[in-house]
Each structure stands twice: as C-alpha cells, then as structure tokens.
Structure 1
Amino acid sequence: MSSEEGLSSTITDWLFINSWWLLLPFIMLLVVAAFIVAFVLLLYMISPLISPKPLKLNGAHVVVTGGSSGIGKCIAIECYRQGAFITLVARDEVKLLQAKKEVEKFAINDKQVVLCISVDVSSDYSQVESVIKQAQEKLGPVDMLVNCAGTSISGKFEEVEVDRFKKLMEVNYLGSVYPTRAVITTMKERRMGRIMFVSSQAGQIGLFGYTAYSPSKFALRGLAESLQMEIKPYNIYVTVAYPPDTDTPGLAEENKTKPLETKLISETSGVCQPDQVAKIVVRDAVQGNFNSSVGPDGYMLSALTCGMSPVTSITEGLQQIVTMGLFRTIALFYLGSFDSIVRRCMIQREQLRAADKRE
C-alpha cells in the first residue's frame, strides 16, 4: 500500500468515526420521539382502565334543581330521553308544572316518572333534606344530582347593592351545598353516584361587571375539588360544568342591567343554546369527568384553570400539560382586548361628562 493510499484510508476511517458523532444528536432525537409516541399510545390504551365506569341513566333517579327552565330543564329532558326518572326542584310551582309537561314528551317507556317539588334550595337545609327524602321514597335513591339552581346580576362593584352579594352566595353556593348534603350519605352507602355543579365561565375568569356573580360561581369549584377528594373512594364522581352565555330566561334578565363593557366582552364568545349545553354536560357527568366545558373557548379555559383539579384519565392530564403554554399565550391576547374595551369605555364616558359640563 502506497503512502497516498494509506493517507486516504486514514482520512476515510476518521470521517466514518466522526460522522457517527455528527449523527448522534439526530439518533437521540429519534429515540426520544419514538419514546414519546410509545408513551402517548400507552396512555390512550390504559386510560379507559382507570377512568370511572359510566353511569347508566336508564332507570336512574336524577334530581335537577333549578329544573323549571333554562339549562336545568334541558338537562332534565336529556336525562329523561335516556330513560331516567326525574325530580324537578324549583320555587315556582306554575313553571314546574309546565316544565313537567315538556319533559314528559320525551319518555322512552311507560314506567318513567317526572316528580315536581317546590322549594327554595338556598333558604333552609332541613326543608331541603325533607323534600329530597320524599323524592327518594317515591322514586328511589338519587343516582345523579344536578345543582343548577342559580341567579345572576351584573353591574359595577360600587353600584351593586350590598345585600345582592349575600343573595348570590346563598342561591348560587348554598343552593348547591344543601341538596348535595341531602344526598351524599345515601350515595356513600350505595358506593355510587354523580354530583354536578353548574357553574359558569364566569366561575373560571373574573370579568368586568361580575364582582357579585363570579365569586359565587368560583366558590363551587373549591367545593367540588374538596368534595371529590372525600368521596372518590366511594365511587362517587363530581362534575363542574362551565357553560358560556346561554340563551335562557336568566340571561335575558341579566342583560337588562349588564354594563356596556360586559356586553362588549360577552359578544366575543357568542351565545349557546341550552339543549346543546345540556347534551355536553350530561355526557361528561355520566362519564365522571370533573370538568365539563362547551366549545373551543370553554376547552381553553378549562385547560388554563385546571390547577390542582382532579383528572379522570391520564389522557386528559397529558392534554392539559401539552396545551397550557399555547393557551396562556392566546389568553394574554384576550386579556389585552378586554382591558382595551374597558379603557375605551372609560375614556368615552369621561369625554361625555366633559362635553356635558361645557354645555
């Protein structure tokens, strides 16, 4: 072998050895990517094994507070059309009887019953406990409780009457605590059950005009997280529903006092139909999902605000981890837009005041 051939062979060997070092980062990247793909596939495979067993609504007893109108009535209809026995709870007897007739149209068998109970679920726990006991004596133990009784008011903080803050906490928070206390013991004895708290997207993000309303809905989240940790060993699962603005009598009433800023901010997400919301939240409650959101905005808010909330599948937790950064970036643009709306409205008011003074 000549010296030139020996030099060429040496160079070739050197390049071969060093090319492996150059390729090593790409090889490691491929190994990591393959590991991630395998891990994700494994999560999808095992997540059904750790998720709660779905609740069968056919023949189940479902109690719906605030069931005489709006989302509550549509939830009752959705459960009834799946074969459930329904107890409607609300204050207005006339509305209850009308709702009963509407729900009964969706029966799938002759055995189904709709029971109406007129009571204020936020005023007296002993009274709520008594009527729930009566309902269980007639239709059997409660399999699913839907806490949908609620009210809303919007207005600037200093313009909302002080007693309205107390009233909203009583109706929106205690109105969910009392019925839940009334059914929880029986559910634990039976080692099964579902409890739904109907909150609001205003229970995930505080917005202009909701200083009285938002805290009462935020409170449900804390109650739900604490309660879920207590009752999960008993095979009882809690769902917190966060519907957006929904076309209900309650929204129509709220719009009468809604400040301009609140209206403009609300318009960025549109209005949903109550039957659409009902289908989604009932499905999530049956599956035992802790969070129930509606639409892309709702999904983003639920991922952003998940915090230490429980998950019912590994897949759900992984989705939250992966999307958190992107959703936070998008949310910052939303917040900037909302702040801009509030600032423009303030400037316009000040200009109008100044014009009035000059006149």
Structure 2
Amino acid sequence: MASPFFLFLLLLPFAILLLVLAAIVRPRPVRIPLKGRHVLVTGGSSGIGLALALRAAAEGARVSILARDPSRLQDARDAIRLATGVDVAILAADVRDPEAVARALGAADPVDVLVCNHGVFLPQELERQSLEDVRFMVEVNLMGTFHLIKAALPAMKQRAKESGLPGSVAIMSSQAGQVGVYGYAAYSASKFGLRGLAEALQHEVIADNIHITLVFPPDTDTPGLAEEHKRRPEITKLIAGSQGGMKADDVAKKALNGIKSGQFVVACNFEGYLLYVATVGLSPQRSCLMAFVEILGVGFMRFVGLCYQWSWFTSIEKWHAKTKSG
C-alpha cells in the first residue's frame, strides 16, 4: 500500500497545475440569462433552429426566428405557439444578402442572444462539385454569419451596456468544422472558418460583456439529412457512416445549456467531446477543470486521431483499388 507521503508527492503536480489554471484561464465564468430577454435564432423554421426557439420560448425568452421562407416561418411560429403558448416574431431574409439582413434586424428589437444556426450542406468531391455549389455553402454558412453579426452587434453592445447583463453570440458549426472528411471539402472550409471568426470575435467583444459560443453538432435528424445522405459519395458513407446521429431537440438542449453557461465550445456527444479535446488548440476556456482535462488529454487524443486517419486512408485505398479492378 502506498504511503500518504508518496500519494502526496504523486498528486502535488496536479494540484499545482489546477491552481495555476484557476489563476490564468480566461475569460472568467459567466451566466447568460434568457428569461425576458430577446433571443434571435436564424434557421429557426425547422430542425435545430426550431428546437432552439421552442426551448428558449419555454424558458421565458422573447424569441424571434429568421429564415428565408415566410410560409415555413409561419408554420414554425404556429408550432411554437401550440407547444408553449408563446408567440414569437418572424423575420424573413436570405442571410446571403447583407442589406436584407440589416433591414430584418433593424425592424426587430435589439438582440440579447444571437444564435447563428443557419447552414447548408451539399457533399461531393471538390473536383466534381460546381463552383456555384461551393460558393453557395461559403456564402450561407460563413458570409451569412458575418452579415448577421455585423448587423446585430452595435445594438447588442449598447443593450449590454445599458442593462448590465451579458450578451451572447452563438455560432453553429459542425463536427465537419473540426475535422475534414472525404466529400466535405467546401462544407468543411465554410465551417472551419467559423472557428476563426469565433476566436477572434471573442477577443473583440469581451470588453463589451458579450460572450461567444461555438457549437459542434454531429449529423442531426433534420429535414435535410435524408437528402444529404443521398448526395454523399460512397467513400464518405464508409468513413462517416450513413445513419443519423442526434435528435434536433437533444442538440438544442446541449447548445442552449452551453450558451447559458458561456461555454466557448459546446460538444454535443461523446465523439464530439473527443474531437473537441483533440482540436482544442488555442481556444478560450472558462473552466480550470476543463482546461486540466484538455492538457492531460491532448497527447492521447493525437494518438486516437492518427488511428482514425489510418482507418480512413485505408478505406479510401481499398475503395479506389476496388473501383479500378471493377
């Protein structure tokens, strides 16, 4: 049996590390209240966006949903009213159009919590994919997020200053924004870009008491998932699988909890958590305990990542050998 002194020596470095982390992790912990505050959710007419709007309304937030199709927005408003008894505002705009986004947000109340949930996914090998499809994904997923934040930020800053309450900008990325996979070149590029936006933006707005949350959902059971599976290259199906991952409401619950606690990164399932540790890089971290786990886990997760890459490249080699021989 180990002596108490030996155990003390064994645990001392970890205790010192925790104390150091408690002193240096930034930003500091924060709580983002929702009740009575204006939450605007883009892509709010279906899927994760609708689930987020439902949950925010149920928690007493004043909710607005933004999407392109007015009829689908009306259906979503009716569904939220039926489920919660709460009426929400609807805003019709294409996030690719900065003027339309600015008009929509200008007609709405100042935003306390902006959830940039919109997104499109057209999987295909880059060589075969049209530049129109590439541009469409980049303009919606990446530029659309810039348009929304640019339009909302001035009023959000003023709102946080006047109320003394923290504001939040949540950005919906994807696990394909953490690791690139065959057939996802354009989509991953658009989603990887959101991480750079989120990290730099947090530096820019922290003094205004606005906090950034970056969400990395897996495949989620949404109306577009079945169509996405039909378009996926066969190799992608071998590597990433072809079954749906999480339910939209489960992703919404994880995302909203992360927003309320000011988490910079929200992983939605166990695989996402492993990806988060493996790709943490220089991301902000509010929790000294999570920073401790990251420090201990990064080396091991690099090994796990190499194992995944071995499996993926092996699948690709076998696929090409099979198709050439056929």
TM score, norm. by length of structure 2: 0.91
Higher relative contact order at CA 8 Å, sep ≥6: structure 1 or structure 2?
2
Question: In the alignment, does 2:289 pair up with 1:312?
Answer: no
Q: Following the alignment from structure 1 to structure 2, what is the Cα–Cα distance between the partners of residues 175 and 206?
A: 21
Superposition pairs for residues 171-210 of structure 1, below 5 Å? 171-189=140-158, 190-191=160-161, 192-210=166-184
| Contact 2:25-2:286 within 8 A present in 1 as well | no
Structure label with greater radius of gyration: 1
Q: Paired residue for 1:169?
A: 138
**1:153 Cα deviation from its structure 2 partner:** 0.7
Residue 284 of structure 1 deviates from its aligned partner by 0.5
Cα contact 1:193–1:236 (8 A) shared by 2: yes
Q: Distance in 1 between matches of 2:19 and 2:131?
A: 54
Paired amino acid for 2:40: V
Output the aligned Cα RMSD.
2.4
User: 1:64, 1:148 within 8 Å by CA — same for their partners in 2?
Assistant: yes
Q: Which segment is superposed worse, 271-280 or 49-58?
A: 49-58
Residue 60 of structure 1 corresponds to which residue in structure 2? 37
CA contact (8 A) 1:245 1:266 kept: no
Q: Is 1:154 the equivalent of 2:131?
A: no
Question: Contact 1:241/1:292 (CA < 8 Å) preserved in 2?
Answer: yes
* Matching of residues 198-237 of structure 1 within 5 Å: 198-237=172-211
Q: Deviations over 1:209-250 (max 9, x none)?
A: 011111000110010111001111211110111100111112
- 2:318 corresponds to which residue? 344
- Letter in structure 1 aligned against 2:47: G
Give 1:269 shift: 8.3
Picking from 105, 128, 135, the partner of 2:101 is 128
Question: Distance between the aligned counterparts of 2:26 and 2:94, measured in 1?
Answer: 41
Q: Does the Cα contact within 8 Å between 1:246 and 1:271 map onto a contact in 2?
A: yes
Alignment of 1:133-148 (within 5 A): 133-136=106-109, 141-148=110-117
Quote the residue 1:239 is aligned against.
213
Partner of residue 16, structure 1: none
With over 3 angstroms needed to count, the CA separation of the structure-2 counterparts of 1:119 and 1:50, relative to structure 1, is closer
2:259 corresponds to which letter in structure 1? A
**Are the structure 2 counterparts of residues 34 and 351 from structure 1 closer, same or farther at C-alpha, using a change threshold of 3 Å?**
closer
How many Å separate the matches in 2 of 1:148 and 1:128?
14
Moved over 6 A (4+): 43-50
What is the CA–CA distance in structure 1 between the aligned matches of 2:88 and 2:21, rounded to whole Å?
Answer: 39
Aligned-residue sequence identity (percent) comes to: 35
Equivalenced residues, count: 319
Q: For residues 205 and 50 of structure 1, what CA distance do their matches in structure 2 show?
A: 26
Is residue 168–residue 210 contact of structure 2 (8 Å, CA) maintained in 1? yes
What's the secondary structure of 2:231's corresponding residue?
coil
Structure 1 residues 319 and 180, CA gap change in structure 2 (3 angstroms)? same
Deviation at 1:33, TM superposition (A): 2.4
Shift of 1:290: 0.6
Contact in 1 for aligned 2:168/2:212 (Cα 8 Å): yes
Q: 1:164 to 1:217 in 2, by over 3 A?
A: same
CA-to-partner distance for each residue in 1:149-205, whole Å, 9 max, x for gaps?
A: 110111111100112111111000111111111111122222431001101000010
- The AA in structure 1 aligned to 2:232 is K
Counterpart secondary structure, 1:238: strand
| The one of 83, 105, 109 aligned to 2:82 | 105
Instruction: Give 2:268's aligned residue.
Output: 294
Asked whether the 8 Å contact 2:26–2:285 carries over to 1, the reply is no
Structure 1 stretches of 5 or more lacking a match?
1-25, 353-359
Distance apart, 1:48 and its partner CA = 11
Higher helix content, 1 or 2: 1
Residue 249 (1) aligns with residue 223 (2): yes
Question: How far apart, CA to CA, are the structure 2 residues paired with 1:268 and 1:299?
Answer: 20
